[in-house]
Structure 1
Amino acid sequence: MNKNYHHKSVLTKESIENLITDKNGIYIDATFGGGGHSYAILNSLNKGAKLISLDQDKESVNMNCIKDKRLHLFHSNFIKIRNILNKKNIKKVSGILVDLGMSSYQLDNIERGFSNQSNCILDMRMNKESTYSAKNVINESSKEKLFFIFKEYGEFKNAKKISYKIIEARSKNKILFSSDLVNIFFIKGTFKKRKKFLSRLFQSIRIEVNDEINALKNFLVESSKILFPKGRIAVISYHSIEDRITKYFFKKGILKEKIFKPLPFRMIHKKVIKPSFQEIINNPRSRSARLRIAEKI
């Protein structure tokens, strides 16, 4: 392992303390990102343990600088975790960690098109091999589809108005850059209010581009099948939609069409775990993070 690796991840201490129950077990880091959580997991495991890490962003995988024989890193979306485990002849694991946020590299790299703070091409693909990007969402979606995206994924009360503004703007010129999208809207009020609006707007589009909600639901269902009894899953989410889905599934074992009897999990903590004041000071991007942990029954 590279001892000079200093990537900072969110809620690392809280995640690892609750996740690791068997230091000789097999664990999954379903969203490798910058590798911070994988590094921390490996530091908590014995020599005979194993860590399966994956990320759908090939650049994240290629930038890996953790040198450890216990780490097995794959370029893959976490919904394909069963395929990865089959390749390694693994049927069950001791714990799963999934961080649903984006890495600092993704946010700060203007070529990736995630940020509304710089003038970049509208992209937002977690997996650059995908052909569906933010440009497709904004320029090709019907008004009904745009309304659904902004209502469901951005939780906008004025989702219809936002959709019409975009359709009106794209009828004159294609919306190709983040500035093209941002300049469509005039937001009255403070800088904070405008920033919140744009964050939710870009969040909505990013969720659609990467099919994040369906991916999370499928992964939660799959996790209940691949964990050993008393194995644990830790989910770090960054907005209310993901957190509600995670909380409801852990408590009820239900995702509408998929119902489990008996319940697959029990909650380890009744209340959601949030970053400490000091962590938020050190890493402002952690302020919206929420951690929930459950144990396989």
Structure 2
Amino acid sequence: MDLQNTYHEPVMLAECLEGLNIRPDGTYVDVTFGGGGHSRAILERLTTGRLLVFDQDPDAAANSDALKADPRFTFIAANFRHLKRYLKLHKVEKVDGILADLGVSSHQINTPERGFSTRFDADLDMRMNPNSEKTAREVLNVRSAGELQRILGMYGEVHNAKTAAEAIFSARHNTPIETVNDLKSLLLRYAPKHRENKYFAQVFQALRIEVNDELSVLEEFLMQSPEVLNPGGRLVVMSYHSLEDRLVKNFIQKGKFDGDVEKDFFGNEIKPLKSVTRKPVEASTEEVARNSRARSAKLRIAEKP
């Protein structure tokens, strides 16, 4: 098996490429390089075109080494919330397509010391960028009970967020919560019977979103996307949970994240993108059987008029 598939098998690869509507001489951005599966496939379709990719994870940067000799390829070691700034630094004013595959890569989940997975005991880290300061350990041991309740309830949709937050707040005064198993052992009594794994997954999702500021990052990225797209350029975003998908859906449909779409004096809707797909694209049964990560993926495609 090749490197990109051992690192992270790209989800809905064909659907993403079709959504981008790639021109061989176009300029494209993959803001979540990861294992590079999507990026390699985009490069294969370019002749004189250009691909710029973002990733803040040093492991992803190392994974891009084989492509760095390609003059069409540019790796940007940064968070994609800085999309416009880094495109400008690389003298790119407009692009023809932007791809974002949100969430955690298989590599990150399967690397125990990163602390993303409930399957391995490790320090509670969960940083997408190992050089950033905030960790899951810091969130659990420093935040107030009220803040912990907000994080668990809002980002993990944990049904007993208040009870779980109070248990964490109380327990840490005796012993700091340092590892994955510390947290699981503490919360096991509050998890629904026979649904413990799903419960822990919700708790971990909440912490990961908080540690990496994921929803704010997504909002900032979406707001910048229409500004850097050429007319006819495509935005292709794949999300893995309802919080992300709701933001993407609202922005495409309304040009903002809540409230009703704004209209001009003549009653025309003011929104920077138009939806290409009426409903989100989902992975085929065959792909889900091959790659379980594809099960929750929702792909939305929009175009700049």
Contact 2:36 2:63 in 1 (8 A): no
Deviation at 1:68, TM superposition (A): 2.5
Please identify, of 204-213 and 62-71, the stretch whose mean Cα deviation from structure 2 is larger.
Answer: 62-71
For residues 62-86 of structure 1, give each alpha carbon's deviation from its aligned partner in whole angstroms, at most 9, with x where no partner exists.
Answer: 1223353211011100011112111
Partner residue of 1:290? 298
Distance 2:70 2:281 in 1: 30
Please identify, of 210-219 and 160-169, the stretch whose mean Cα deviation from structure 2 is larger.
Answer: 160-169
Deviation at 1:4, TM superposition (A): 5.4
Partner residue of 1:207? 209
Distance 1:131 1:88 in 2: 27
Is structure 2 residue 87 aligned with structure 1 residue 85? yes
For residues 34-81 of structure 1, give each alpha carbon's deviation from its aligned partner in whole angstroms, at most 9, with x where no partner exists.
Answer: 101101111122x21000001011221112233532110111000111
RMSD: 1.8
Partner residue of 2:236? 234
Letter in 2 for 1:77: N
Specify the SS of the correspondent of 1:287: helix
Specify the SS of the correspondent of 1:52: strand
Specify the SS of the correspondent of 2:277: coil
Deviation at 1:155, TM superposition (A): 1.3
Please identify, of 256-265 and 215-224, the stretch whose mean Cα deviation from structure 2 is larger.
Answer: 256-265
Is structure 2 residue 175 aligned with structure 1 residue 173? yes
Deviation at 1:255, TM superposition (A): 2.6
Contact 1:21 1:231 in 2 (8 A): no
Q: 2:276 aligns with which of 244, 249, 268?
A: 268
Give the 3 Å change call, closer, same or farther, for CA 197–44 of structure 1 in structure 2.
same
Q: 2:72 aligns with which of 62, 70, 73?
A: 70
Give the 3 Å change call, closer, same or farther, for CA 252–6 of structure 1 in structure 2.
same
Distance 1:110 1:23 in 2: 40
Letter in 1 for 2:41: A
Partner residue of 2:44? 43
Is structure 2 residue 34 aligned with structure 1 residue 33? yes
Is structure 2 residue 279 aligned with structure 1 residue 277? no
Structure 2 residues without counterparts, runs of 5 or longer: 264-269
Is structure 2 residue 17 aligned with structure 1 residue 16? yes
Please identify, of 127-136 and 19-28, the stretch whose mean Cα deviation from structure 2 is larger.
Answer: 19-28
Deviation at 1:258, TM superposition (A): 12
For residues 116-164 of structure 1, give each alpha carbon's deviation from its aligned partner in whole angstroms, at most 9, with x where no partner exists.
Answer: 1110100000011101100111000111111110111011232111100
Q: How many residues align?
A: 292
For residues 220-253 of structure 1, give each alpha carbon's deviation from its aligned partner in whole angstroms, at most 9, with x where no partner exists.
Answer: 0000111011100010100000001100110011
Specify the SS of the correspondent of 1:254: coil
Is structure 2 residue 63 aligned with structure 1 residue 55? no
Identity fraction in percent: 39
Distance 1:6 1:30 in 2: 16
Q: TM-score normalised to the size of structure 1?
A: 0.94
Letter in 1 for 2:296: S
